[in-house]
Structure 1
Amino acid sequence: MMMIMILSILTLMISLLLILINNLISYKMINDREKSSPFECGFDPKSSPRLPFSLQFFLIAIMFLIFDIEISLMLPLIVTLKMSNLFSFITITIMFIMILLMGLYHEWKQGALNWAY
C-alpha cells in the first residue's frame, strides 16, 4: 500500500514538473498585431473574421438536449412495466408525456422554435 502511495506522489510530482517546464519554455511574451490578425492574402480583412453567434441555434440545441435527456428518462419505464400494475404504468407514462408536450407547447407559443424573425 505504501508503494502505491509513493508511486502516485512521484507521478504527480513528475507531471507537475513537466507542466511547469512547458509553461516556462513555451510562454510567448510578444503580442504582435500582425501575428494575431487573420491572414487574407496579404491584405487587411474586409469584414470581421468572427461570425456572429446565433442565439436561435443555441436555444434549439438546448431544447434538443433537454428532450434527449427526457427520452432517456423514459427508457426505464419499460423495465418498470414488469414491476408495477398496468394502470399505474399508463398513468405515469401519460403524465410524463403530457409534461413534455406542455413544455413543447410553451416553447412554441414563446416563439423559440421560429428560426427567422
Structure 2
Amino acid sequence: MALIIRLQQSSDSLAICNYLQLFQLMQKYVPAYIVEAPKLLKLLVFNYLFSNGDAHFKNFSLLKTPIGDYRLSPASFEVIKQIMLSGSEKVKELTFASYLDQTTKRNYWQSYEGRLRQLEKT
C-alpha cells in the first residue's frame, strides 16, 4: 500500500501518511472492504498494545486472490499474534533469552503482561 500512497502523492516520503489513508486505500481498491477493514483495525490495535515499532506503511500489503480481487495480507500479523498469544511462557522464554539487559527484560515482561490483560478485555 506504500507504493499506492507514493504514487498518489508523487513523493518519495511516506512520513506524512497516516493510518486513515490505509483505510481509504482499502476502501478504494478492496471490494471486500467491509470484511478487511476490521482486520486492519485489529492489527493496528494489536501493534499499539504490543509496541510493534515495525508497523510502518511498507509492512501493510494487499494480496491478490484467485478470483482477482484483493485482501489485506495477514502474514506478519498472524506470525506476531501467534507468538504473543501462544502462551505467556513462550514469550517469557523468548524475552529472557534475548540480549537485553536484565532490567529491560523485566520491564518488557511486565509491560507485556499488562498489555495482554488489556487485549483479553476486548
The TM-score range, normalised by the shorter chain, is under 0.3
**TM-score under structure 1 length normalisation:** 0.25
* Higher CA-based Rg: 1
Query: What's the TM-score, normalizing by structure 2?
Result: 0.24
